[in-house]
């Protein structure tokens, strides 16, 4: 049976946090199978947004990414695991 690790990441104040979030995503890039970013972009780029990640690989690496994202100001990350 397959295991699906889905992480949602709420990012507030993107101008202040985007660089730090991107650095973590780059560090854990081999664990990211799918990345989807959702934010308001009609008339102006929104300051907050939601990211959805499908993660693969070592569960310890996935939990480390979760912890490091949650340690950033303005970032909330949650992990759902489906078997």
- Structure confidence at residue 54 (pLDDT): 98
Q: Are strands 75-82 and 32-39 parallel, antiparallel or unpaired?
A: unpaired
Contact by Cβ (8 Å): 44, 35: no
pTM, full prediction: 0.91
pLDDT single digits (tens) 37-75: 988 777 677 889 999 999 999 999 999 999 999 999 999
Residue 10 pLDDT exceeds 80: yes
Residue 1 pLDDT exceeds 80: no
- Cα separations in angstroms, 52 against 1, 28, 43, 57: 22, 15, 23, 17
Where is 77: in which H helix or E strand?
strand 75-82
- Domains in the chain (CATH in brackets) are 4-82 (3.30.70.1150)
């Amino acid at each position: 049976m397959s295991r699906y690790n889905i992480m949602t990441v709420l990012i507030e104040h993107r101008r202040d946090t985007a660089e730090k979030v991107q650095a973590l995503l780059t560090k854990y890039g081999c664990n990211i199978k799918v990345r989807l970013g959702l934010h308001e972009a009609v008339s102006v780029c929104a300051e907050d947004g939601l990211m959805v990640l499908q993660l693969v690989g070592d569960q310890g690496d996935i939990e480390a990414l979760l912890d490091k994202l949650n340690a950033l100001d303005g970032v909330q990350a949650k992990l759902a695991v489906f078997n």
